[in-house]
Amino acid sequence: MAVLIQSILSGVLIGGVYALTGIGLTLIFGVMRVINFAQGELVMVGMYGTFFLFSLLGVDPFLSVVVTMPAMFLLGAVLQRSLINRVLDALPQNQILLTIGMGLVLSNVAMLAFTSDYRILSTSYSSSSVPLGPIRLSTPLIYCFLITVVITAALYWFLVKTDVGHAVRATAQDRDAAQLMGVNVRNMGVLAFGLGSALAGAAGALVAPTYYIYPQVGGAFTLKAFVVVVLGGMGSIIGATLGGVLIGVAESVSGTYFGSGWKDVCVYVIFLLVLLLKPAGLLGKSRM
Amino acid sequence: MKRTFVISVVAAALLALVPLFIQSPYALHIFILFFIVVALGESWNILGGFAGQYSVGHSAWYGIGAYGAFILLQQKNVAPWFGVWVGVAVAVIVALAVGWITFRLRGPYFVLASIAVAEIIRLLALNWKDLTNGAEGILASDLPPLKLGGTMITDWNSKTPYFYMGLLMAVFCIAVNYVVKGSKLGYYLQAIREDQDAAHSLGIPLTLYKNAALGISAACTALAGSFAAFYVGFIEPQGVFGIDVSIQMVLTCIIGGIGTVSGPIFGALVLVVLTEMLRASLAQAHLLVYGVLVVVVILVMPEGIVGFASQRLRRRKAAAA
Amino acid sequence: MTALLELRSVSRYFGGVKANQDVTFSVEPGIVLGLIGPNGAGKTTLFNCITGFYPPSKGDIFFEGARINGLSPDQVCKLGMARTWQKVRPLAKLTVLENTVVGGLCRTRSVPEAREIALQQLRVVGLEKRADVLAGGLPIGERKKLELARVLATQPRMVLLDEVMGGLNARESEEIIQLILDVKRRGLTQVVIEHDMKAIVRTCDRIVVLNSGEMLAEGAPQQVVNDPRVMAAYLGDSGGMKA
């Protein structure tokens, strides 16, 4: 029983990070109807950035989020203006291929720059854990989850309470109507991609202490982000939040009971099931 | 139409003469790579180009074909030219099952599902160690000599037999494309690609035809994939089921011209030449070429080389008329 | 005479929206039935129900005496009922001829045979000189004609034309009217959704009027067009009436 609860709780903790990546993806899709296959590579960039901030400047990974997020926002904005913006009217398949290409470039540039050696970011508290009765929760994961909550709350506040946030949601609901109301939809696209990238970067920073860091790590994150988003409903931020936690738990529990080799299979099977049975996801689309 | 056919036959004949004049193993190797990329691209083209269903999980069929033939050679001493058909059969059966499930999904959702399926199969291969040896992979034992009647044709000890096999593969896959394109299947697939609902209303049973395309595509991919695997001599889950394999197939068609018969040939030319030229400087990061190419092609020439050229030709004809 | 197409109390709901409610009428072989009504009356929804894109929520649809509820669009086409689209759907990257061949392949496996049928229909609609032009490059008038040629190539017993004159100028509309009369002479049955009242009166043998999903009136053209309820339905709503 304790094993199950520990498993579930660990899953919730890591699920927050999956949620972050998923929220980024769903935000981009909601505003521009583009499916960003390079989301995982953006996480990877965040991981490397955090790693180097730590190993060269000694900045704690959880604190460096403050630096990583704005930097990743800029990267996202640049990518949007130079590449994504040009394919907004193209076939969806071509948009997907473009982002796949983007991802390939990012991961291979990382390989050229950093080699494919696995990097490990160990902090003083990397292996410590906090006891909670019969359960032990990993300290880095706890920090990770707490910061995820803060970021998600800030995002919600932004979208619900600010004018710019309203503009973003308007663009996601009805691009033309938003434009007619005076919203600069092109800037909304840049903002969305920038935010999506920032969230990915944050996710990368938060998992850097607990994952191996290498150029190809992005692929798994992309796929997982998709599962999260499809589960929660394309375009729904709340859905992605819930989806992330659910996937984290599913992965953790199946890893505990079936072995780590099979936990990914479990996640992808869930993915296929959702695609087939309820493709609109738990919370449907176009509602942020 | 006749003219293209004659040109193709002449080109194939000329290529068949190459090993008589060129003996450098490296040069032959490049040709073989080219043939493999062409064969795989043409295979993908049937589903992705004609039917417009962009599968980014075609590595599944490549791997199933390869593992089928390798396992049969390893464990039962079945020669690859027999064993490969088992792999092909399994690939087609699995493909049809997958198609039946995933073809109700449209556009990007289908792409995602195809990736997930390939990943699941890769993980299965990784974890089912009794069958596949897991991450250690399988090394091809010495290929038995190919005999016809009593005479030995080759014992597979040089690049030349692989050259001819590769040429045969490429020609076969091109021929399949050509036959499909001019047939009722080809017309119907292209209708599905252009406008699924309109196609439906014109009497086209969507799932049936999509599955037909997938079945043929998977079979050709498994065939070409097995050959490629034997040429390398070693397979392991990431190498045959990895998304890189799938992306390469898609790229070949995108660069060359999606939905055209000759497109993948040009795409393969560009891919192989560029990759080899940059292999030294890029080493492990050679996929960078792929990434940059995709981005450039999508932004500048989404119709691909052949598509772009025929657009130009049409415009010139229209202007002259 | 037994009806070719018969609708009995057909209703179609989308959640809480009643797109069609209790629609009942029959179409005898060989006639042209006009289906009119203001925008949003449920005409295209009815077409979608009849041709299998979704089944009716209630009621039955009979074609040649057999109940066809729930059949898929390709099955409906094979039975002999083909439809065109309000927003034209050319197969853009295929040529005019190839588009029509797709239609022709409905009844044959042979591509050369389908080509013959296709060329024939292209001659009927007057597009045979444009056979090798990409459908995506056609102006709207020719696109509408292509849609017609394409469905005729499926060798149907009945065609459902959804605003086949929408967006056309006077000359193009006249050509379409002649084509409808021509198709009628060939023995095909037609149901035509239209907003052009002059065209309706000239081509249709009978008219069914829909308003807000329900049947408002039914009868001979002159009678229906002068019906005060019909006029009120149109004038009360800005639905494109060109009379």
pLDDT digits (tens, 9 = 90+) for A170-206: 888 888 888 888 888 888 999 999 999 999 999 999 9
Domain coverage including residue C185: 1-80+158-243
Q: CA dist B273 to B37, B229, B269, Å?
A: 11, 21, 6
What residue of A is the nearest CA neighbor of B111? A93
Q: Given C155, C179, C203, which residue is the final one in a domain?
A: C155
Classified as helix, coil or strand, C11 is: strand
Residues near C41 by beta carbon (within 8 Å), at least 6 away in sequence: C210, C211, C212, C213, C239
Residue A286 confidence class, pLDDT cut points 50, 70, 90: very low
Domains contained in chain A, CATH given = 2-277 (1.10.3470)
- C242 and C176 together in one domain: yes
Q: How far B294 CA lies from chain A's nearest CA (Å)?
A: 5
Give the 3-state DSSP-derived string for C107-122, with helices as H, strands as E and coil as C.
CCCCHHHHHHHHHHHH
CB-nearest to B203 from C89, C106, C109 is C106
Q: Which residues of A touch B292 (CB under 8 A)?
A: 101, 105
Q: What is the domain count for chain C?
A: 2
Highest mean pLDDT among A43-47, A87-91, A93-97: A43-47
- C11 and C53 together in one domain: yes
Q: Residue range B260-278: average pLDDT? A: 91
Whether the CB-CB separation of C1 and C205 falls below 8 Å is answered with no
What is the predicted pLDDT for the residue at B1?
60
CB-nearest to C102 from B183, B202, B206 is B202
- C139 and C162 together in one domain: no
Whether the CB-CB separation of A243 and A192 falls below 8 Å is answered with no
- C57 and C21 together in one domain: yes
Cβ–Cβ contact C83 with B under 8 A: yes
pLDDT digits (tens, 9 = 90+) for C33-47: 999 998 888 999 999
Would the CB atoms of A87 and B287 count as touching at under 8 Å?
no
Classified as helix, coil or strand, C238 is: coil
Would the CB atoms of B188 and C105 count as touching at under 8 Å?
yes
Chain B contact partners (≥3 CB pairs within 8 A) = A, C
What are C218's strand-pairing partners? C208
Q: Which residues of B touch C109 (CB under 8 A)?
A: 184
Q: Residue range B92-117: average pLDDT? A: 89
- C44 and C116 together in one domain: no
- Please say if the pLDDT value at position B188 is more than 90: yes
- Percentage of residues in chain C with pLDDT exceeding 70? 96
Distance CA B145, CA B143 (A): 6
What is the predicted pLDDT for the residue at C23?
94
Selected for mutation to probe chain A from B289, B294, B301 (highest A CB count within 10 Å) is B294
What is the predicted pLDDT for the residue at A130?
82
Q: Do chains A and C touch (3 or more CB pairs under 8 A)?
A: no
Determine phi and psi for C93, rounding to 5 degrees.
Answer: -85, 0
Tokens of C196: 């052009």
Which residues of A have a CB under 8 Å from any CB of B? 35, 83, 86-87, 90-94, 96-98, 100-109, 111-112, 116, 219, 223, 226-227, 230, 261-262, 264-265, 268-269, 271-272, 275-276, 279
Would the CB atoms of B112 and A271 count as touching at under 8 Å?
yes
Average pLDDT, chain A: 88
What is the predicted pLDDT for the residue at A200?
95
Instruction: Please state which of the ranges A180-189, B155-164, B312-321 shows the lowest mean pLDDT.
Output: B312-321
Chain A contact partners (≥3 CB pairs within 8 A) = B
- C35 and C97 together in one domain: no
- C141 and C237 together in one domain: no
Selected for mutation to probe chain B from A25, A82, A87, A105 (highest B CB count within 10 Å) is A105
Number of inter-chain CB pairs under 8 A, A vs B = 118
Instruction: Please state which of the ranges A61-70, A215-224, B279-288 shows the lowest mean pLDDT.
Output: B279-288
Q: How far A131 CA lies from chain B's nearest CA (Å)?
A: 33
Q: Where are the alpha helices (DSSP H) in B103-242?
A: 107-127, 129-132, 159-181, 184-194, 196-201, 206-232, 237-241
Distance CA C94, CA B260 (A): 12
Selected for mutation to probe chain B from C91, C97, C147, C158 (highest B CB count within 10 Å) is C91
- Please say if the pLDDT value at position B124 is more than 60: yes
Whether the CB-CB separation of B71 and B259 falls below 8 Å is answered with no
Q: Given C110, C140, C155, which residue is the final one in a domain?
A: C155
- Percentage of residues in chain A with pLDDT exceeding 70? 98
What is the predicted pLDDT for the residue at A262?
81
Distance CA B217, CA B41 (A): 10
Would the CB atoms of B298 and A271 count as touching at under 8 Å?
no
What residue of C is the nearest CA neighbor of B200? C74
Residues near B308 by beta carbon (within 8 Å), at least 6 away in sequence: B257, B301
Classified as helix, coil or strand, C2 is: coil
- C96 and C147 together in one domain: yes
Q: Choose among A261, A283, A227: nearest CA to A25.
A: A227
Domain-located, residue B188: yes
- C62 and C164 together in one domain: yes
Domain coverage including residue B156: 24-247
Instruction: Please state which of the ranges A278-282, B165-169, C65-69 shows the lowest mean pLDDT.
Output: A278-282
Question: C3: domain CATH number?
Answer: 3.40.50.300
Domain-located, residue B218: yes
What residue of B is the nearest CA neighbor of C88? B198
Q: How far A233 CA lies from chain B's nearest CA (Å)?
A: 12
Would the CB atoms of B295 and A91 count as touching at under 8 Å?
no
Max Cα distance, chain B (Å): 67
What is the predicted pLDDT for the residue at B168?
94
pLDDT digits (tens, 9 = 90+) for C116-142: 999 999 999 999 999 999 999 999 999
Cβ–Cβ contact C82 with B under 8 A: yes
Q: Residue range B65-71: average pLDDT? A: 93
Distance CA A153, CA A49 (A): 24
What is the predicted pLDDT for the residue at A128?
81
Q: Residue range A43-56: average pLDDT? A: 93
Confidence check on the interface: ipTM exceeds 0.85, yes or no: yes
- Please say if the pLDDT value at position A283 is more than 80: no
- C162 and C243 together in one domain: yes
The helices-and-strands tally (H runs, E runs) of chain C is 9, 10
- Percentage of residues in chain C with pLDDT exceeding 90? 77
What is the predicted pLDDT for the residue at A174?
85
What are B236's strand-pairing partners? none
- Please say if the pLDDT value at position C162 is more than 50: yes
Q: Choose among B259, B253, B254, B247: nearest CA to B297.
A: B254
Q: Given C129, C155, C181, which residue is the final one in a domain?
A: C155
- C68 and C5 together in one domain: yes
Distance CA B58, CA B113 (A): 11
- Please say if the pLDDT value at position C115 is more than 90: yes
Would the CB atoms of C102 and B195 count as touching at under 8 Å?
no
Average pLDDT, chain C: 91
What is the predicted pLDDT for the residue at A287?
36
Would the CB atoms of A272 and B117 count as touching at under 8 Å?
yes
Q: Which residues of C touch B197 (CB under 8 A)?
A: 53, 73, 89
Give the 3-state DSSP-derived string for C36-71, with helices as H, strands as E and coil as C.
ECCCCCCHHHHHHHHCCCCCCCEEEEEECCEECCCC
CB within 8 Å of chain B, chain C residues 104-133: 105-106, 109-111, 114
CB-nearest to B198 from C72, C85, C93 is C85
Would the CB atoms of B184 and C105 count as touching at under 8 Å?
yes
Classified as helix, coil or strand, B228 is: helix
CB-nearest to B183 from C72, C103, C111 is C111
What is the predicted pLDDT for the residue at B321?
64
Whether the CB-CB separation of A273 and A267 falls below 8 Å is answered with no
Selected for mutation to probe chain B from A88, A272, A274 (highest B CB count within 10 Å) is A272
Distance CA A248, CA A145 (A): 12
Q: What is the domain count for chain B?
A: 1
- C140 and C192 together in one domain: no
Domain-located, residue B178: yes
Domain-located, residue B71: yes
